[in-house]
Structure 1
Amino acid sequence: MRPLTLRALALVLLGVVPLACTGAEPEPPATTSPVPTARDTLTPGAGTVGEAGIGDPDFPRDGNGGYDVAHYALKLSYEPSRKRLEGTADVRARALQDLSRFNLDLRGFTVAQVQVDGADARFERDGTELIVTPAATLRKDAAFTVRVRYAGRPDAIEDPGNLGTYGFNFTPDGAFVTSQPSGARTWFPGNDHPADKATFDFEITVPEGLTVLANGEMAGRPRTASGRTTFVWRERNPMATYLATMTLGRFHLKEGRTASGIPNVAAVDPRFKGSLNRLYDLSGKITDYWAEKFGPYPFGSTGGVVDDFDAGYALENQTKPMYGGFDPYDSIIAHELAHQWFGDSLSIRRWRDLWLNEGFATYAEWLWGEHANGEPAETQFKLAYETASQGMWRYPPGVARPKDLFNNSVYTRGAMTLHALRKRVGDDTFFDTLRTWANDHKYGHVTTEEFIALAERKAGRQLDDLFDAWLFQPRKPRL
């Protein structure tokens, strides 16, 4: 567990460092990267064996190639006293090539059975890869369903360079589940990379008295029998695996609707019961305001969850942002809810474009400050420009750093890129660009070059100098 430091809290109050993720002081990159081109895309595998990696050049082993997942149906049972998870995962997918073999990501657990379209399949383990050989080759474009039966003790990932502890985290009364960047594999088998989004059904059974909070909306009322309660949640909109959650424990809940009518669910661990009304009210107000600025809210419900796990960060789990072990400030809530547009609805296809998530959400903090406190975003921009460390300037946000994804440059310099664009093109064009960006790519994937192309189209001129200076050069841009 990693509690927040006083320095981190002070920086949050200044609006310089968001709490969505915390990173180490960036070091200079070994090389710099030019503005990306169309060829910098995911590279599919060939032949009849799905690759053990989806093709992300900076994370070559993440995800899996050869297929595209459409839907996950997860039937899970968790016993906190034993820290034991039992599950049956049905993964519905389409073959992108002929497949005699393919991989799923799964960390730990004992796998009892794997079936493909109802027929037993051979399987083997290689680290976090579950290698599946179906009884017959799957032909290109064929729809198929993989069923995996598994059980065991979840094993969260310890990665000091990227968040610290993530995945399925134990709490005194349940679990705090935040999986960015690659922790979904700690609790279900799948294609664990944001390039492959899918819809989700969750059927989760826990001891009576506990509450399960998953993505989307609850389908019917919880069912209790023989001392155990089953919750069914459904997320009907495509979602990256790292945004999936099954956070559970004892919670105080408040449910209702925002002023504009969006269903709103807030939940807090009893340790934070005094923050329930504030979390509920602010989540509703901020969601409605972002809908005015960015376009209609893309999902079926909003809200937030505060759990008793000292994560030291928050995460934008789709429809249910998670706050780990602290009462979130309004700027943090603004950050995580902005992600519902930028990061959740609009997802990156490769991790090198992370600034499209974190830079946008950090800039949203500055926009909320303008709206709620009358503090111009220009003030935050100048403060960051004057006080940021040399490390941030040496590491441009458009260059991926696999062992330090969530560094200050991606957040603060990413936000500064957007403010520099706003100053160059004016408010009308800038906010029209954001709304068009969110609308045109709703539920899809985005890349940096696509955003640059849109910004230039809206501005009616080239902006290469601006984006190159702020995103790709390892030096402090001139104002």
Structure 2
Amino acid sequence: MRALIVVVITCLLLPLTGIGQPTQVAQECSRSKIFNASAKTTLASPDELKYDVRHVHIDISLDNTSVAIAGKATTTALVTEGNFALYVFELNSKLAIDSVSINGKDAVFVRTDNLVKTFMPSLLQTGDVFSATVYYHGLPDAGSVFFFQSGMNNAPAEEWNSTVTYTLSEPFNSKDWWPCKQYLEDKIDSADIWITVPDSLKAGSNGLLQRVTSLAGNKKRFEWKTTYPIAYYLLSVSVAAYDEYSFTRTMPDGKEVLVQNYLYDRQNVLDSFKNRLDTTGEMLYYFSELFGTYPFHKEKYGHCMAPVFGGMEHQTMTTLHNFNAALVAHELTHQWFGDNVTCGTWRDVWLNEGFASYGEYLFAEKFWGDTAALKYIQKVHDIVLDDTVLTGSIYMSEAEANNPYRIFDGRLSYQKASSVLHMLRYIINNDNLF
């Protein structure tokens, strides 16, 4: 679905020991984003503007020992420009393409680095719908723990003696694990994500788990489905030896939301985090009072544990390192501001990160009291008003929007942006409108 208000920037937020550490949070969050963003800042090809993605069905095999991937992905799309002759998408050049078919017919394709051009068997016209299936396999560049993330990662969670394979696609790394169109202004209307894994493991993803299918060779296939529009880089998978801890929470309007958590299958993990996980339900309720009912209430909100550098707000199922309250509040706020309603260009990234950062303050104000909240916001203001760096605006020019260091500037896009929201709240001076 082509969207005027489009999707999201992510936040790989460093775990906090307390609510009052905005300096470290923004610095580490922005560093990891800068690393990923440096690879690409524009649409790969103007030919990608000639079709509108309607549905994606990813069907892949993974385990938790490497980033090796094999499977297929089917994209169903609507043609938006006549005489459509080329289907163009991105896929990491290290992933081999076994075949491409269009509407069930084998198609010829050519590759230039990460760009794949597929010749349509016949010309299509505006309004036509086609399905393209790409069979592929291989080993993309493997990311590792903390800074050096790629789209597909395998790393140990050393504290819990668990190894995880997981995706981090923001901002332009979806191509590392599935053939895709990486364009903010084209949300995918719906998606099926099927992940086949050894039967000792679990695989988490977006939306609702439809079924777990037992397969030959001691394998299981986890079949997830989301029917909400979703940005390309918010699709995710995470594979590990997980236990599940889930519950439901009733929202202010009476709707019930499933809170589904995939935790490391290790002794004391649930005991260590249960109280914080239960607090997620209370956050959902409170943020629904402030922002409107949780936007994906028909599916779920959840978490997959992985050794990421903080957290990433994958739609309906955040990937995170631990359950620090500020981190959870930040990523949960992103479900409204980033995943559901998002900026249309990188120039407006402050809307995503400003609201998510302000969610930390709102959590502190409600759950920890005015003193803790004041301490938090004062530290934010101290950073923003630091005389040694008292430059820059939350607004970006077009030239600045090509510079990942500026896009993910922790002081401007996170801290100053949240300060602007705080200021506007008090200028309006009517929390009934908040």
* Residues 15-57 of structure 1: per-residue CA shift (max 9 Å, x gap): 4454696225999xxxxxxxxxxxxxxxxxxxxxxxxxxxxx9
Q: Is the 8 A contact 1:421 1:430 kept in 2?
A: no
Q: 1:202 aligns with which of 185, 193, 198?
A: 193
**Does 171-180 or 205-214 show the bigger shift?**
171-180
1:17-56 aligned within 5 A: 18=25, 22-24=29-31
**Structure 1 residues not aligned, in runs of 5+:** 28-56, 432-479
1:47-446 aligned within 5 A: 59-61=42-44, 64-81=48-65, 83-98=67-82, 99-107=84-92, 108-156=94-142, 164-172=148-156, 173-198=163-188, 199-260=190-251, 261-270=256-265, 272-299=269-296, 300-307=299-306, 309=307, 311-324=308-321, 327-375=322-370, 380-388=376-384, 389=386, 393-399=390-396, 400=401, 402-404=403-405, 405-408=407-410, 409-428=412-431, 430-431=433-434
Q: Is the 8 A contact 1:18 1:362 kept in 2?
A: no
**How far apart, CA to CA, are the structure 2 residues paired with 1:193 and 1:220?**
30
Q: Is the 8 A contact 2:249 2:281 kept in 1?
A: yes
Q: Partner of 2:7 in structure 1? A: none
* Residues 113-159 of structure 1: per-residue CA shift (max 9 Å, x gap): 1111122221111121111111112212211111111111132469x
**How far apart, CA to CA, are the structure 1 residues paired with 2:264 and 2:352?**
28
* Residues 253-283 of structure 1: per-residue CA shift (max 9 Å, x gap): 1012124421111122246444341342122
* Residues 369-426 of structure 1: per-residue CA shift (max 9 Å, x gap): 1101112756544432233345764232221353223221111111111111112111
1:333 positional shift = 0.4
**How far apart, CA to CA, are the structure 2 residues paired with 1:134 and 1:175?**
35
Q: Partner of 1:51 in structure 2? A: none
Amino acid at match of 1:61: A
Structure 2 SS opposite 1:305: strand
Change in CA separation of 1:229 and 1:176 when aligned onto 2, cut-off 3 Å: same
Structure 1 SS opposite 2:309: coil
Change in CA separation of 1:275 and 1:140 when aligned onto 2, cut-off 3 Å: farther
Change in CA separation of 1:221 and 1:165 when aligned onto 2, cut-off 3 Å: closer
1:433-472 aligned within 5 A: none
Structure 1 SS opposite 2:404: helix
Q: Partner of 1:46 in structure 2? A: none
Q: Is the 8 A contact 1:123 1:133 kept in 2?
A: yes
Q: Partner of 1:32 in structure 2? A: none
Q: Partner of 1:447 in structure 2? A: none
Question: How many percent identity over aligned positions?
Answer: 25
Amino acid at match of 2:44: R
Change in CA separation of 1:71 and 1:26 when aligned onto 2, cut-off 3 Å: closer
Change in CA separation of 1:113 and 1:58 when aligned onto 2, cut-off 3 Å: closer
* Residues 203-260 of structure 1: per-residue CA shift (max 9 Å, x gap): 1111110000010110024434331011100011011111111101111210121244
**Does 149-158 or 70-79 show the bigger shift?**
149-158
Amino acid at match of 1:105: E
Change in CA separation of 1:203 and 1:387 when aligned onto 2, cut-off 3 Å: closer
**How far apart, CA to CA, are the structure 2 residues paired with 1:170 and 1:291?**
35
Amino acid at match of 2:59: K
Amino acid at match of 1:302: Y
Q: Is the 8 A contact 2:13 2:312 kept in 1?
A: no
Amino acid at match of 1:411: Y
Provide the TM-score with structure 2 as the length reference.
0.82
**How far apart, CA to CA, are the structure 2 residues paired with 1:93 and 1:134?**
13
**How far apart, CA to CA, are the structure 1 residues paired with 2:42 and 2:18?**
30
Give me the CA root mean square deviation: 3.0
Q: Is the 8 A contact 1:219 1:233 kept in 2?
A: yes
**How far apart, CA to CA, are the structure 1 residues paired with 2:118 and 2:380?**
49
1:87 positional shift = 1.5
Q: Is the 8 A contact 1:280 1:303 kept in 2?
A: no
